[in-house]
Amino acid sequence: SKGKNMFSVKPLCSRQKMMQQYSNDVAVAIADGKKKKRLQWAKKRRAKLDQSSSSSSLTLHYSPCVLERTDVYCSSSAEEDGVLHMMLRIMDNRPQQRNDNNGNDNSSDDEKKIDAMIIENNTSCSENGNDYGEREEFLKKFLCKLASSLFNNEITAKQQQQQQLKNSTTPLLRHVATIVLQDRLRALLKSSSMNAVAFIADGSILPRKSGASNSPMSCPPALPFRAPDETDLSKILNVDMGVLINYLDESYAGSGYLEKMGEQDGRSEGMLQIRGLVVPKGVTLIVGGGYHGKSTLLRTIAAGVYNKVPGDGRERCVTIEDAVTVRAEDGRYVNNCNVSAFISNLPSMPGADGKTNVIDTTKFSTREASGSTSQASNVIDTVEMGASAMLIDEDVSAANFMARDGRMRALVMDESITPLLYRVNGLYISKGISSVVVVGGVGDWLDVPDNVILMNRYMPNDALKKAQSISRQFSYGHVEYAGRGVVHRLPWDRTGTPLQRRPDKSTINGFHDPEVEVLDGGLRIALLGDDVEDDDNDVDQNSKHLEDDEFGTIDMSRCEQLLGNREQLYGCGLCLAWLLGFAKSNPGLGIRDLLARMDEALDGSEGMRDVLQRFPGIMQTDCLHSIENSLWENIGFAYRPRKFEVAMALSRMRGVRLENVPEEDDEAARAEAEAEREAERRKKELLDLWNNRRKGKNKK
Amino acid sequence: SKGKNMFSVKPLCSRQKMMQQYSNDVAVAIADGKKKKRLQWAKKRRAKLDQSSSSSSLTLHYSPCVLERTDVYCSSSAEEDGVLHMMLRIMDNRPQQRNDNNGNDNSSDDEKKIDAMIIENNTSCSENGNDYGEREEFLKKFLCKLASSLFNNEITAKQQQQQQLKNSTTPLLRHVATIVLQDRLRALLKSSSMNAVAFIADGSILPRKSGASNSPMSCPPALPFRAPDETDLSKILNVDMGVLINYLDESYAGSGYLEKMGEQDGRSEGMLQIRGLVVPKGVTLIVGGGYHGKSTLLRTIAAGVYNKVPGDGRERCVTIEDAVTVRAEDGRYVNNCNVSAFISNLPSMPGADGKTNVIDTTKFSTREASGSTSQASNVIDTVEMGASAMLIDEDVSAANFMARDGRMRALVMDESITPLLYRVNGLYISKGISSVVVVGGVGDWLDVPDNVILMNRYMPNDALKKAQSISRQFSYGHVEYAGRGVVHRLPWDRTGTPLQRRPDKSTINGFHDPEVEVLDGGLRIALLGDDVEDDDNDVDQNSKHLEDDEFGTIDMSRCEQLLGNREQLYGCGLCLAWLLGFAKSNPGLGIRDLLARMDEALDGSEGMRDVLQRFPGIMQTDCLHSIENSLWENIGFAYRPRKFEVAMALSRMRGVRLENVPEEDDEAARAEAEAEREAERRKKELLDLWNNRRKGKNKK
């Protein structure tokens, strides 16, 4: 059956592994031509890498074998039920010398990690496995090891048998059941009956051991999550798990909150009931005191786009895949981004020729965005890439981007920033983009939500009614019209909608045949290209030279949903390099289409191999001889990123230049424009009304 | 005359230099003992460094000669007037083989940089210089070169004469005059008649070329700054410049705004009048629309703690030296910080033993602080280190830390965060710490300021009256008492005042004899110690091992006043290493005292040499032979940081543990405590009043 690619969030990486990675910051190498020095630099780096590899045993080379993390799943069709498909994709690029003896001494290396590791390419490996070819034999043994590692059993060469495989099916199936459950829950979210952004099951352990850890806090002190009673936010979901239901972890969170099997009421045996909190579509606020669990809940939602392994504590918390965290990111690189929905009406500056210049915020570029501009760009990028939900935490947002209240409006009339507060409703109504916003300080937000979750001592409550009452009670000098704030609920107009962009010719040519390097302990990546004598855009050379050192680097340190650490960051770099290469041969496609093609390619039978074939440096590394020893250590060295993270990497790459894809002037667009003009007219009427009222007030 | 140490903010570093630094990320080498691997890692790094140094001509080793940047100044006493003191401190650690032939071929290396470079140790070098010793001869020639570089003149060995020296005095004196002016302006700020935080002269060019650049934007489009008319915020300052007045740059900002000489009205010839905007002590708001220049003004104030070179555009903008930028810094490491003034009343968690645990926020520690917690810690650190002003930009602040309005208070009663808004007045009244706050969104701030600067199209206006009127007009449901918001103006109580801390024994022992390394293209530093068999704190090993990889690293990427880039960052690391060494032999001293001692040592006759002597690795590097060639390139490789930045580095170093210095129970403290108890009582009365009122209101 076809490979369905999913990802589990990896639990803690082992210390040893991290150590090795740290000592080997220079991983592989993408970038602009025409830079002799840069090439020299890349060569020197590579030379260093080669030197150290020959001399030191600590050094770890990434192997040419790529194990792609595609999860295990169990087909659900009637005749196939119970057949386990383990999706393990091994890209084996060694010539011929395969060897079964790989990595015996490494089996205790990283249980946690292997626990999250999954399984195989186009190979349906049922429990009663039969006719293995040579490759299948290899994979079977590999799988055997993998399974035994799950238990940390001692294994000998003799025990690597069918027997062993059978013994280890239970935990494997537990893993499978957990993943399948999450996929089904996620499918339920999208169903028209739920129409939700996220689901947090009762009994989940949301807090992590520490801010940097993916492991759950122990319980106690952690409190199992429990959705509030008597509210629409709580729901009981029914999931048909088939025989897999027997493999779900019964010890889940003290089992006090465990789902009941649906046998008693005449449902089929495999039915599961799970109660939990539903985060509906629309604008949802998470409010509450500091340290009462607001941000933890939002992070759980953010992590819900990935599947979690058993024991994570959040393995029954799911979110629609295209929910994207949006935060302030001052210093971010921005190129040709239409931020006019949020930033407009900039003051003019006298030009050198005596005329005045006004910065056009429909094509905004900067090398160092401010807090508010960066967050505006992040929202717009998210809209452009087609996300259906934004996750926003006031704690890491620019205050002046989030809201502006009546008093500030009274003092400062000439304002350039339209805060997000005024836009969230329009975004949902016009674009269908939901927002989940953690708010702690600014009460104006209470005017806009469709749902309010109040966190009190780590427990959620439905506070919509109270919030609405407070919103009504305090008029606050806001402009109100027919009981709803006019200014707060601006319609989303077409001019603010970002056009599709694509990397321009100079970018594509500049970064061809690149190498990907992970910098800074896994916070940034750099793309470094060959030194090509390419004269056709010498004009730009000066501007590029200006701050050459940063050219091609990508700061992803504040892309919070990149939960797979440096492995996923590296995967991001690889995918981006692939994307740029693909863009070269497909100049008509915008980023969104390019990303769709990328996902298609990755979901295809060749998967990561296609991406990697663009990097001869990876495929032909000199540690071919040690492949058996390094295979284990290198499992999952590149995790597949979501397309959103790849888009983030592209738009943050210093030196990248994006151009608009010519717009198609179709019927629908014209109709939309007409509707908008109508909306504009109505808005203007309201504003006039407001102005008249104010004038009236002032006269008093 | 004694060395007065000042700093100029360095203009753009040359591309070439940056390139070299970038290609040589591993600069020098600090760390905890007991970590074999870490040592191995350090050794490997060093080995790589050595290899590349012998093979590649691109590689740049920092030289053992240290040129400390202590500025030029001119003594002002009557009999010495006109004598130029050039403070150039060269730490020459080469055995004996000094050579005049150094760096001729490098004179065109970096004009910009040399332009900012200054001059000499305990050596008063007057224009009519006489009796040079051997060292003085060397310095004279060096100076000669330096001077000629300022002009970019071609020089030959023959021309290195007194003649040449004379020709070059004018630009040198221009530089001196600019620095002296800034020092005198800064002295005026502190005088009782002004009592101000900062001064921004008319005609200054505040905006920079780009966010990353220290160079001024060209004019036009930049508008010269002009303080508002008819307001107390504008002042004319009189500065006695002596004969140096003739060397001030007349071409300053189109000279339309230039100061007039005071001759006509019978004042002495050297008097200068400068008009500009004064930022008084107390709570000052900078308000205005987005992109109207708020943050640019704040950044000018932040950079005002350093002296600027002629042509910077801000060379007549000064700020008191101990003004510290405070921003959110999520992910920051915090150890034993008393954040109870801002964060308290955390919800309890069930403990493992069945009892409930409450986190004690008077000794708060975390590996990954949230946005609000990190900013609270930053404020508290600033208070502890004795800063007298905080510079805060809403754009890079945590919204829930900055303010919470009446509506949110109505919805969420159980709040753990006391926002800064409620504390700024108390901080100024009790601790004398002024605040300059850029506010764009939250009108509640209008209840607290002593001064309001409204930026409109890059020009400042005095908006205090308007703000006060708006504050009065909108009651906003805030609790008001006798016309002043009670909740907004909390007194600063003694329990929230941080005790002095100091690094504990394990920290001092763990980081002895460290090496300093600049990581990540100049954003972080790491301290790496020797591998010592030191058994007395094995107990901690587990906790340390937990996330070993980060141990000793210091993320300074969001310490915005570190304007000297990687050179100053490196200086920070060196000073921190010195501080830890000094703390070992002086266990009774708190950080504040340690920093004072550090400044004393740096101001002393030995200066940076004393700091560097703790690093045998630097002093005995193997590139001794190439010292002449590298001296020029290496000028200013380590810039002196302010003590505040050193304190920031210490408190951010992962793995550091700080303990409280036992408090002295003196009379004054007891009296203060008494006064506070009284204040507490009054506050409680007011709160009771408020509660009663609210109850009354609710009954309605």
Mutate to test the interface with B, among A442, A452, A464 (most CBs of B within 10 A): A442
Cis peptide before B221 (omega within 30 of 0): yes
B residues 285..344 contacting A (CB < 8 A): 287-292, 295, 328, 330-331, 343
What burial class does residue B369 get, using C-beta atoms within 10 Å of its C-beta: 0-12 exposed, 13-18 middle, 19+ buried?
Answer: buried
Choose the weakest-confidence range: B41-45, B94-98, B339-343.
B94-98
Instruction: Using DSSP, state whether B348 is helix, strand or coil.
Output: coil
Q: Give A188 to chain B, closest Cα distance, Å.
A: 32
Residue numbers in A near B372 (CB within 8 A): 290, 395, 440
- Rounded to whole angstroms, how far apart are CA atoms B164 and A213? 64
Mutate to test the interface with A, among B21, B286, B367, B412 (most CBs of A within 10 A): B412
Choose the weakest-confidence range: A356-365, B291-300, B622-631.
B622-631
Whether the pLDDT of residue B505 is over 50: the answer is yes
Which tokens hold the place of B599?
């400044």
Q: Which carries the bigger pLDDT value, residue A414 or residue A695? A: A414
What is the 3-state secondary structure of B373-432? HHHHHHHHHHHHCCCCEEEEEHHHCCHHHHCCCHHHHHHCCCCCECCHHHCHHHHHHHHC
The mean pLDDT of B558-585, rounded to a whole number, is 80
Residue numbers in A near B401 (CB within 8 A): 395, 441
Q: What pLDDT was estimated at residue A567?
A: 67
Q: How confident is the model at residue B409 (pLDDT cuts 50, 70, 90)?
A: confident
DSSP A541-606: HHHHHHTGGGTTEEE-TT-TT-TTHHHHHHHHHHHHHHHHHHHHH-TT--HHHHHHHHHHHHHSSS
Q: Model confidence over B386-408: pLDDT tens digits? A: 999 999 999 899 888 998 877 78
Q: Model confidence over B160-210: pLDDT tens digits? A: 444 444 444 566 667 677 877 888 899 999 888 888 999 999 989 998 887
Q: How confident is the model at residue B549 (pLDDT cuts 50, 70, 90)?
A: low
Residue numbers in A near B221 (CB within 8 A): 349-352, 357
Q: 């009673």: which residue's tokens?
A: A229
Most confidently predicted of A603-607, B32-36, B430-434: B430-434
Q: Which carries the bigger pLDDT value, residue A362 or residue B13? A: A362
C-alpha distances in Å from residue A214, one per residue of A11, A444, B205, B359, B558? 5, 34, 48, 22, 25
A residues 57..116 contacting B (CB < 8 A): 58
A residues 340..359 contacting B (CB < 8 A): 343, 345-352, 357, 359
The mean pLDDT of B617-629, rounded to a whole number, is 37
Q: What pLDDT was estimated at residue A614?
A: 53
Q: What pLDDT was estimated at residue B350?
A: 64
The mean pLDDT of B294-313, rounded to a whole number, is 88
Q: Which carries the bigger pLDDT value, residue B628 or residue A607? A: A607
Q: What pLDDT was estimated at residue B487?
A: 54
Q: What value does the CA radius of gyration of chain A take, rounded to a whole number of Å?
A: 27
C-alpha distances in Å from residue A37, one per residue of A32, A536, B22, B155, B301? 11, 20, 11, 30, 37
Most confidently predicted of A655-664, A671-680, B5-14, B220-229: B220-229
CA contacts within 13 A on the Cβ side of A94: 17
- Rounded to whole angstroms, how far apart are CA atoms B537 and B544? 11
Contact B444, A403 (CB under 8 A): no
The pLDDT mean for chain B works out to 67
Contact B391, B302 (CB under 8 A): yes
For residue A246, report the phi and psi dihedrals to the nearest 5 degrees: -70, -15
Q: What pLDDT was estimated at residue A460?
A: 95
What burial class does residue B136 get, using C-beta atoms within 10 Å of its C-beta: 0-12 exposed, 13-18 middle, 19+ buried?
Answer: middle
CA-nearest of B298, B289, B216 to B253 is: B216
Q: What pLDDT was estimated at residue A256?
A: 44
Q: Look at A442 and B371 and tell me if their CB atoms are within 8 Å.
A: no
Q: How confident is the model at residue A189 (pLDDT cuts 50, 70, 90)?
A: very high
Q: Model confidence over A126-183: pLDDT tens digits? A: 333 333 344 445 445 555 555 444 434 343 444 444 444 444 456 666 766 787 788 8
Choose the weakest-confidence range: A644-653, B153-162, B562-571.
B153-162
Mutate to test the interface with A, among B22, B285, B400, B409 (most CBs of A within 10 A): B400
Q: What value does the CA radius of gyration of chain B take, rounded to a whole number of Å?
A: 27
Whether the pLDDT of residue A67 is over 50: the answer is no
CA nearest A417 in B: which residue? Answer: B290
Q: Which of B400, B405, B545 sits opposite A394 (nearest CB)?
A: B400
Q: Look at A549 and B58 and tell me if their CB atoms are within 8 Å.
A: no
Contact B70, B4 (CB under 8 A): yes
Residue numbers in B near A40 (CB within 8 A): 23, 58
Whether the pLDDT of residue A667 is over 80: the answer is no
Q: Model confidence over A494-542: pLDDT tens digits? A: 788 888 899 988 888 877 666 676 765 555 666 654 433 333 343 344 3
Q: Give B16 to chain A, closest Cα distance, Å.
A: 10
What burial class does residue A328 get, using C-beta atoms within 10 Å of its C-beta: 0-12 exposed, 13-18 middle, 19+ buried?
Answer: buried
Residue numbers in B near A340 (CB within 8 A): none
Percent of chain A past pLDDT 70, that is, above it, reads: 53
Which tokens hold the place of A513?
């045949």
- Rounded to whole angstroms, how far apart are CA atoms A424 and B190? 48
Asked if A499 is an interface residue toward chain B (Cβ–Cβ < 8 A), one would say: no
Q: What pLDDT was estimated at residue B669?
A: 63
Q: Give A579 to chain B, closest Cα distance, Å.
A: 26
Q: Look at A56 and B44 and tell me if their CB atoms are within 8 Å.
A: yes
Q: What pLDDT was estimated at residue B94?
A: 34
Choose the weakest-confidence range: A296-310, A350-364, B546-560, B622-636.
B622-636
- Rounded to whole angstroms, how far apart are CA atoms B439 and B454? 10
Q: How confident is the model at residue B255 (pLDDT cuts 50, 70, 90)?
A: very low
Whether the pLDDT of residue A116 is over 90: the answer is no
**Torsion angle defined by CA atoms of residues A133, A139, A144 and A146, in that order, rounded to the nearest 10 degrees:** -170
CB atoms within 10 A of CB B235: 18
- Rounded to whole angstroms, how far apart are CA atoms A98 and B181? 76
For residue A657, report the phi and psi dihedrals to the nearest 5 degrees: -125, 130
Mutate to test the interface with A, among B213, B330, B334, B478 (most CBs of A within 10 A): B330
Helices (H), A349-488: 371-384, 399-402, 406-411, 424-431, 464-473
Q: What pLDDT was estimated at residue B535?
A: 37
Contact B94, B255 (CB under 8 A): no
B residues 388..447 contacting A (CB < 8 A): 393-412, 414-417, 419, 439-444, 446
Whether the pLDDT of residue B223 is over 90: the answer is no
Q: Model confidence over B487-504: pLDDT tens digits? A: 567 888 778 888 889 998
Percent of chain B past pLDDT 90, that is, above it, reads: 20
- Rounded to whole angstroms, how far apart are CA atoms A555 and A523? 6
CA-nearest of A526, A477, A543 to A690 is: A477
- Rounded to whole angstroms, how far apart are CA atoms B536 and B526? 24
CA contacts within 13 A on the Cβ side of A409: 18
Choose the weakest-confidence range: A225-239, A420-434, B62-76, B548-562.
B62-76
Q: How many CB pairs under 8 A join A and B?
A: 335
Residue numbers in A near B295 (CB within 8 A): 370
Angle between helices B643-652 and B591-603 (to 10 degrees): 140
Burial readout B212-231 (b: 16 or more C-beta within 10 A, e: otherwise): eebebbebbebbbbbbbeeb
Beta bridge partners of A334: A366
Q: What pLDDT was estimated at residue A390?
A: 97
Beta bridge partners of A66: A91
Asked if A212 is an interface residue toward chain B (Cβ–Cβ < 8 A), one would say: yes
Asked if A256 is an interface residue toward chain B (Cβ–Cβ < 8 A), one would say: no
Task: Give A521's DSSP letter.
Answer: T
Q: Model confidence over A359-407: pLDDT tens digits? A: 788 889 988 888 899 999 999 999 999 999 999 999 899 888 998 877 7
Q: Model confidence over B190-204: pLDDT tens digits? A: 888 888 999 999 989
Q: Which carries the bigger pLDDT value, residue B609 or residue A219? A: A219
Q: What pLDDT was estimated at residue B219?
A: 76
Q: Which carries the bigger pLDDT value, residue B92 or residue A337? A: A337
Asked if B685 is an interface residue toward chain A (Cβ–Cβ < 8 A), one would say: no
For residue B56, report the phi and psi dihedrals to the nearest 5 degrees: -115, 140
The mean pLDDT of A401-424, rounded to a whole number, is 84
Instruction: Using DSSP, state whether A390 is helix, strand or coil.
Output: strand
Q: Which carries the bigger pLDDT value, residue A691 or residue B134? A: A691
Which tokens hold the place of B21?
């630094």
Q: What pLDDT was estimated at residue B432?
A: 93
Beta bridge partners of B69: B88
Q: Which carries the bigger pLDDT value, residue B260 or residue A576? A: A576
Which residues of A164-311 form beta strands (DSSP E)? 196-201, 234-240, 271-280, 283-288, 307-308
Contact A214, A157 (CB under 8 A): no
Residue numbers in A near B553 (CB within 8 A): 521
Q: What pLDDT was estimated at residue B281?
A: 95
Whether the pLDDT of residue A60 is over 60: the answer is no
A residues 369..388 contacting B (CB < 8 A): 369-372
Instruction: Using DSSP, state whether B178 is helix, strand or coil.
Output: helix
Instruction: Using DSSP, state whether A122 is helix, strand or coil.
Output: coil
Most confidently predicted of A19-23, A129-133, A678-682: A678-682
Q: 């009122």: which residue's tokens?
A: B693
The mean pLDDT of A330-337, rounded to a whole number, is 91
Q: Model confidence over B510-524: pLDDT tens digits? A: 776 666 767 655 556
Contact A84, A125 (CB under 8 A): yes
Most confidently predicted of A121-125, B451-455, B556-560, B692-696: B451-455
* Kind of pairing between the strands at A434-438 and A283-288: parallel
Q: Look at A400 and B467 and tell me if their CB atoms are within 8 Å.
A: no
Q: Model confidence over A574-632: pLDDT tens digits? A: 788 888 888 888 888 899 999 998 888 777 655 555 555 554 444 333 333 333 333 33
The pLDDT mean for chain A works out to 67
Q: Which of B212, B366, B393 sits opposite A368 (nearest CB)?
A: B212
Q: Which carries the bigger pLDDT value, residue A256 or residue A194? A: A194
Residue numbers in B near A473 (CB within 8 A): 410
